[in-house]
Chain A
Amino acid sequence: MNDTQPIRMIDQPHKIGFRPAMDYLIDKRAIQFPDSQEFKTLTQKVKWIKHQSLMKLPELLEQAESQLQANGIQVHWAETTLEAQQIIHGIIKDQDADLLVKGKSMVSEEIHLNQYLQDKNIDALETDMGEFIVQLAGEAPSHIIMPAIHKSKQDIAELFQQKLGVDYTEDVDELIHIGRTELRGAFEKARVGLSGVNFIAADTGTLCLIENEGNGRLSTTAPDVHVAITGIEKVITHLSDIPTLIRSLTRSATGQPITTYVNWISSPRKPGEKDGPKAVHLVLLDNGRSELYQKEQQQLSLACIRCGACMNHCPVYTRIGGLAYQTTYPGPIGKVLSPHLKSLPATPDHPKISALCGACNTVCPAGIPLTDLLLDHRNSATDTSVIESMVWKFWSVLNRSPRIYNGLMSWVLRLYPILPKFMGGWTKHRKAPDLSSKTLHDRVRHYQAQQDRSSK
């Protein structure tokens, strides 16, 4: 299949490894949750809020839509990534604009918006510092919260020197200042801005965005038109639930009690107000989510609040890095979600590449049983291959019957010296292993017989 996304390692020029970065995030989170019981209670509260909202998701979406419309916000529904791309392109075209300033939005990554707009001669500029760096490098984000976490400051210094024509500097304050100056010009002239959404409150029709840099606020304030895009699962029942969700989200994500900015947007600019967009659009993306909603157990992944804690604590993510997954969402939640957003055959490695250690389950602020969902994927994947399911059936029979097992083993040992020694990848670089002439069972039996004799 052409669009299959196998997992493979991708190295950076200045390899820094993910371990230090993940340790930094793990430690910062741990400081915010000194009491594990308090974390468990908070997780129950978040799970309750998300589950209550998901249980009435279709009705809640309808309520949110009418509330948003009453507030003057235009609501669009997109079943597919292409439809979302077209809706956004249409809004930009109506403004005769050729530049879009973007606040951070993983859903815009999911629909590959930048590439689509570039083909239509519209410049989509990422303004989150991490996203800006990744876009300059022509890469994808490797982490949903810290997109450029795979890059060292040397990588970034070289990148800025090459692409922006500035002097080489490894000073982080200077590098950020260079980024700020570069992007200011875009905010000054852009007429359309795009952002993601963390939560939509259905009762008030309010969009809630959280961030530290201020580019999210700029993208939603400076341009004449603001386009917000998010998945249909982001709607919650009450605006008053937001403090509880944020209390857990920011602590889990970056170990902050709250982000620098929590931004509530409830309407476009009102008469007399001097700034803010004159029109606000919300694009609600499905892209596989409504089918996921119909799947028992797997549907629990819709409670995700996108904090990234599961990837920070994942030994596999830490070893291979986010780019290796080749999908928008990496790490444990990415391994659960990507088969739904793409398809299980298109992401064959995703459910398999896990040690099922369960670290992700213990830190998930929405109580998602990630390893159960991965196992469920594995079962679904196994069902599709006749040979693999026959192998497992044989293995199961063998291990349940001592007589067949011992009989077969003794024949394998006897015939081993004359059997061919090709074992796929193993014997490509190594010799085939030598086997003992007796099985462990035989040796134990022999040993026990000796013990019995000597004790008599």
Chain B
Amino acid sequence: MASRQNILDRLKAGQFQSDMSSDPSAKNKAVEPKSLAYLSEHFERALAAANAEYRFCTTGDQSETIVKWLEELKLHRCWVSEGTALGQALRQQNTQNIQWVNPVDPMGVDRSEVFNQIDIGLTQSHSAIAETGTLVVIPDANEPRTMSLVPPAHLVVVNKSDLFWQFEDWVLQHPEAHKNTNVVFITGPSKTADIQQTLAFGAHGPKRLLVLIVE
């Protein structure tokens, strides 16, 4: 504990001199509320710019749309929770080609199934940010953190009515968000430009990010 005290003592002996006297954000103009149509249009554009793929559906045909999408992409082993309404609805779907896998204990002793035998993770999103095309994912006991991270593809479902305009708005309207173990803001698939500034997808996380917007 000596180090802690030494560091704090030295800091308390100093004084940080700022040349600023007033908060520049005080002059912020109030952001006009955006219509849902505006948010949605902007969200689509930002998703495309971030190299995410997206489709629309309604609450009625959500499961059918997902099954069709997965079949088109020939993704057979889909990781989806049994504990969510969506996971239960998908398991009622009549499909021969897709196997629904429940995340039991993904980070247990044998991780090889998690790391090597799942084609896609399917999760819900808490909400989304229109300006940057960002999905807000809050993992929980039903949908653990690895589901949106380890498989080569991630399908995320978002309700159009859960769109926020900017990251700033989202944070101000969710003052309790930090009570979750983990909150992840996801914008597009995993990527890197570390080799000669050439963009490549699927560096470590999902190579494809599929977004299903429920209208």
Measured CB to CB, the residues of A under 8 A from B are 16, 20-21, 24-25, 41, 44-45, 47-48, 51-52, 54-55, 57-58, 61-62, 77-79, 83, 127-130, 133, 146-149, 151-153, 156, 172-173, 175-177, 179-180, 183-184, 187-189, 201, 204-206, 212-215, 217-218, 221-222, 232, 239-240, 242-244, 246-247, 254, 257-270, 272-276, 284, 286, 290-291, 293-297, 299, 302
Contacts and interface: CB of A to CB of B under 8 A. Distances in A.
Among B17, B103, B190, max chain A CB count under 10 A is at: B190
A173 B193 CA distance: 10
A61 B178 contact: no
Contacts of A221: 145-146, 149, 182
A366 to B, nearest CB: 12
Contacts of B50: 260
B184 A274 contact: no
Contacts of A240: 168, 171-172, 175
Contact of B196 (A153, A184, A254, A260): A153
B48 interface: no
Contact of B3 (A77, A213, A214, A260): A77
A272 B181 CA distance: 12
Contact of A180 (B175, B188, B204): B204
The majority secondary structure among interface residues of chain A is: helix
Given A77-B4, A83-B3, A176-B192, A239 B178 contact: yes
A16 to B, nearest CB: 7
Top 3 nearest A-B pairs (CB, nearest first) are: A214-B205, A294-B14, A130-B194
Contacts of B31: none
Contacts of A246: 167
Among A130, A173, A214, A297, max chain B CB count under 10 A is at: A214
B136 to A, nearest CB: 10
B178 A213 contact: no
The majority secondary structure among interface residues of chain B is: loop
B203 A213 contact: yes
Contact of B106 (A62, A128, A184, A275): A275
A269 B181 contact: yes
B112 interface: yes
A188 B106 CA distance: 11
Contacts, number: 248
Interface stretch (B18-26, B54-62, B63-71): B18-26
B189 interface: yes
Given A54-B16, A218-B149, A221-B146, A172 B132 contact: no
Contacts of B89: none
Nearest to A173: B200
A294 B193 CA distance: 39
Interface stretch (B5-13, B33-41, B155-163): B5-13
B17 A48 contact: no
Given A48-B20, A146-B193, A275 B145 contact: yes
A175 B195 contact: yes
A44 B27 CA distance: 12
Contacts of B23: 48
B12 A58 contact: yes
25 contacts: A16-B196, A25-B197, A52-B18, A78-B3, A79-B6, A146-B193, A146-B194, A151-B196, A153-B196, A173-B200, A176-B200, A212-B191, A214-B204, A215-B203, A239-B178, A244-B168, A257-B187, A258-B132, A261-B186, A261-B205, A265-B182, A273-B140, A275-B106, A286-B7, A290-B6
Nearest to B46: A257
Given A212-B191, A240-B171, A242-B171, A217 B184 contact: yes
